[in-house]
Amino acid sequence: MPSSVTHHHLFLLLLLLLPIYSIAQTYKKLTLGLSLTSGVENSKWASQNGDFAFGFRQIADNSFLLAIWYYKIPDKTVVWFATDSTESNGEIQIPKGSKVELTTDGKLILSDPQGKLIWSAGKSGATYAAMLDNGNFILGSTGSAGYLWESFDHPTDTILPSQILDRDRLNNKLYSRANDTSFSNGRFRLRLPNTGSLVLQPVAFPSLTENRYQPYYNSSSLPGGNLKVKQFVFNESGHIYVISKNGSIMNLFQSETIVPATDVYYRATLDFDGVFTQYSHPKSTSAPEQFWSTVGYIPDNICTSFVDRLGSGACGYNSYCELTSKGRTSCQCPPGFDFIDPNNRFGDCKPNFDLQRCHQADGRKPNESFELQTLKNVDWTTSDYEELQSYNERDCRSSCLSDCLCAVALFRQGTCWKKKLPLPNGRLDVSVNGNALIKIRLDGSSSEQDPNSPFIKSGRKNQSTLILVGSLLLGSSVFFNFIFLGVIFVVMFFMNKTLRKKTHRTSVLRSNLHSFTYEELEEATDRFSEELGRGAFGIVYKGFTEEMGSIAVKKLDKVFHQGEKEFKSEVNTIGQTHHKNLVRLLGFCDEGQHRLLVYEFMSNSSLADHLFGISKPDWNRRVQIAFGISRGLMYLHEECSTQIIHCDIKPQNILLDDSFTARISDFGLAKLLITSQTRASTGIRGTRGYVAPEWFRNTPVSSKVDVYSYGVMLLEIICCRKGVVPELVEEEIKAILTDWAYDCYSQGKLEDLVENDEEVMNDMRRFERLVMIAIWCIQDEPSLRPSMKKVTQMLEGVLEVSAPPCPYQFKEYVGNSSECNDV
């Protein structure tokens, strides 16, 4: 049959082509006898195209790595390194003066300066070695088809285009590293087990027992994933997929946009946090982005992927995992807990108080020694020891408080789960849909609150105890003296311990904030040399620390002469906020007159700079920003354990992050000024033009002041102009945006508001809706303004927006706003 003949021919042709193809790669052959020495400048062999190099990389003073790395790019990213064959601890430590040699009998041998063998590759018989252009280092023999040894067969944490993991060969695993600075074995594996799936799995650490824990990613449980995986392929064009025995293919990442591998380098790495990520990096060193960007990753949310009853989950014990961007995670300790090793944020947390000292030891009931702090939407899924049904939150709280074993309770819809230490598998996720109640000891920072505690007022009380004991001693027998001496010893010992603990506790806040010394911040900001901006509460400087990277340091004005306690409790409240539309507080400094707050650094400056600058953000982006701010405000008003009113919402206080997400800054500070002083002495908080009218009246200030400011700002965002433009006095009505907007709205001439903005002109229905929402927000009468929750629902289209009334209908204060129109 002709067709079978053709097939036969094709097959022969393929057979002929295969060896030709592999020979077609050009490379410099390294001849036998060549060697490299660690510590010698330029001890490497580069590939023909210069993309990769093989050789020694210094990782510490007297420690080197035998590695392959990207040779041209600034990062010099390591893609392979020689590992201990016992695989117990990954990297091998190589001292200075060690030698890697291509021996005359055709092996690759690494020996230390004394000549002792450290590591070897190949079984002799090679006639050359080569660093190939694709990143594979090989030992070959002229006359034999395949390679005798190749680094692609011994992957570490990274796989490169044209590299294949094969279930039936030894190279069927990737090992994560311990952290981004270490090359030791970490906690995660990518494997192709015999069951025929591709799995990501944690190992029992540090014993490194594999296969004990359930995978946190299993290709078999995905739709279309029920194929017997044979190979895991990273093909030359940059696609990553698995191939089954019968030849069917499943892509690893759902939506991938793969640019040609001719322009970028690709690599895929099982990162130390357990996420398997494909990255790309421009090949050209003149391209602007000289870093690795994420192309795809699995699992989608590692925080919620762990299902095993054993193991600590994505983070360490007693910590919880939060998804940041692009699958990356951040691990946090709950309030009252600290990282055991402050440098290792993937490690375990421990309580910074004694949970055991609970059984009425100091004469108090357990529910008087502890309190519960709320962490919204945080759960540790596999640590429950009791489930109480038909409870309300109050019952749940008191049940945990009076139970010495209970470290945390989770309350959700009438059910109360009590949990004990250590807490595994913590995550912050909206699907938790409940409150974690974290038990914290009451003494320490709040010691002033319990004057009855026997061990607090050190000086005087100690003295009187001693006098009492002394006088008792005088009038007693020798036998009792001995007993008393023993008692004194025990009492003093205990007192000493408690006091020490107390001094420690007062310096630690209950939230997960870093306490800086002034000196540290002086150094981090290079003596406050780079000013980022000036706000109502002080000047903000740019800083940098090894641990946190870029930071923004706010030096608070002298006006914050509140007591230490108020300051701490306010900082604590701010520190407990977690929302993607808020700037995160990372730490603080409280040293005498120096009070500073440390925030994450926002790369894209403030909304004001963009809105009123030269290049306006496009219409969709502006709308997204407005949405984001409303969600952030709604969180502050309704979802924090203590309500936070901002009091100074304006575009200058909205910062934009890398991805132009709006992040509210400066929240939580206003309260410090309002609480202890009357409004009369503080004056009006906030900024002219954004201030709600009730500030001028003698009526209470509520969260509705923020709604007002939001309304003004919403108009600014959608119209891309300032709220007050004094230069427009000749067209008086236009000078004040709120008046002008209501005028245009009520007269049906909304186009006048946007003038030449074509994008908006094409989306007038949405624009009108936003103007209507804004007019609701700027109602003179606070009770007419919607809550931020309602505003958010209206923005999202969940709620209808009805026609807003004239904002000034209850005009009773002396201002410069316009009259209501007769419409």
Ligand X SMILES: *[C@@H]1O[C@H](CO)[C@@H](O)[C@H](O)[C@H]1NC(C)=O
Residues found near ligand X in the complex (CB under 6 A)? 178-179, 181-182, 184, 193, 195, 197, 199, 214-215, 218, 220-221, 226-227, 235-237, 239, 241, 244, 246-248, 343-344, 365, 367-368, 402
Residues placed in the known binding site: 555
Q: CA nearest 234: which of 134, 148, 107?
A: 134
Q: Say if CB 564 and CB 571 are below 8 A apart.
A: no
Euclidean distance between the first and final Cα of the chain, in Å? 89
Residue 685, helix vs strand vs coil: coil
Q: CB of 766: closest distance to ligand X in angstroms? A: 39
Q: Which residues pair with 139 in a beta bridge?
A: 129, 149
Distances (CA, A) of 427 to 108, 218, 580: 46, 20, 16
- Which residues, other chains included, contact 557 with Cβ-Cβ below 8 Å and sequence gap of 6+? 537, 538
Q: CB of 346: closest distance to ligand X in angstroms? A: 7
d(CA 720, CA 727): 16
Q: CB of 230: closest distance to ligand X in angstroms? A: 11
User: Closest CB to ligand X among 54 and 265?
Assistant: 265
Q: Say if CB 642 and CB 651 are below 8 A apart.
A: no
- Find tokens 């090992």 and name the residue: 175
User: Closest CB to ligand X among 267 and 554?
Assistant: 267
Q: CB of 339: closest distance to ligand X in angstroms? A: 10
Q: Is residue 394 within a helix (H) or strand (E), and if so which, with residue range?
A: helix 393-401
Distances (CA, A) of 25 to 19, 48, 239, 303, 518: 11, 10, 21, 43, 59
Q: Say if CB 284 and CB 264 are below 8 A apart.
A: no
Pairing outcome for strands 415-419 and 408-412 = antiparallel
Q: CB of 66: closest distance to ligand X in angstroms? A: 18
Q: Answer yes or no: 648 catalytic.
A: yes
Q: CB of 193: closest distance to ligand X in angstroms? A: 5
Q: Say if CB 768 and CB 613 are below 8 A apart.
A: no
Q: CB of 179: closest distance to ligand X in angstroms? A: 4
User: Closest CB to ligand X among 167 and 610?
Assistant: 167
User: Closest CB to ligand X among 87 and 236?
Assistant: 236
Q: CB of 394: closest distance to ligand X in angstroms? A: 10
User: Closest CB to ligand X among 367 and 415?
Assistant: 367
Pairing outcome for strands 585-591 and 514-515 = parallel
Question: Quick one: CA torsion of 503, 507, 512, 515, rounded to 10 degrees?
Answer: -140
Residues placed in the known binding site for ATP: 555
d(CA 210, CA 744): 69
Alpha carbon 688 to chain centroid, angstroms: 36
* DSSP class of 123: -
Q: Phi and psi (nearest 5°) for 371?
A: -135, 170
Residue 570, judged by CB atoms within 10 A of its CB (0-12, 13-18, 19+), counts as buried
Q: CB of 401: closest distance to ligand X in angstroms? A: 7
User: Which residues in 607-623 are b (16+ Cβ under 10 Å) and which e?
Assistant: bbebbeeeeebebeebb
Q: CA nearest 380: which of 330, 326, 312, 447?
A: 312
User: Closest CB to ligand X among 343 and 463?
Assistant: 343
Q: Which residues pair with 591 in a beta bridge?
A: 594
d(CA 790, CA 748): 25
Task: Find the catalytic residue in 379, 648, 706, 743.
Answer: 648
- DSSP code per residue over 757-822: -HHHHTTHHHHHHHHHHHHHHT-SSGGGSPPHHHHHHHHHTSS--PPP--TTTT--S--SPPPPP-
Q: Which two tokens stand for residue 314?
A: 């994505």
Q: CB of 587: closest distance to ligand X in angstroms? A: 18
User: Closest CB to ligand X among 225 and 805?
Assistant: 225
Q: Which residues pair with 497 in a beta bridge?
A: none
User: Closest CB to ligand X among 297 and 776?
Assistant: 297
User: Closest CB to ligand X among 213 and 417?
Assistant: 213
Q: Which residues pair with 264 in a beta bridge?
A: 282
Q: CB of 227: closest distance to ligand X in angstroms? A: 5
User: Closest CB to ligand X among 119 and 241?
Assistant: 241
Q: CB of 235: closest distance to ligand X in angstroms? A: 4
Q: Say if CB 172 and CB 164 are below 8 A apart.
A: no
Q: Which two tokens stand for residue 800?
A: 């209808």
d(CA 760, CA 762): 5
User: Closest CB to ligand X among 183 and 767?
Assistant: 183
Q: How many other C-beta atoms can be found within 10 angstroms of the C-beta atom of residue 704?
A: 23
Q: CA nearest 213: which of 313, 322, 299?
A: 313
User: Closest CB to ligand X among 182 and 507?
Assistant: 182
Distances (CA, A) of 442 to 132, 352, 371, 505, 533: 64, 12, 6, 10, 38
d(CA 576, CA 823): 48
Active site residues: 648
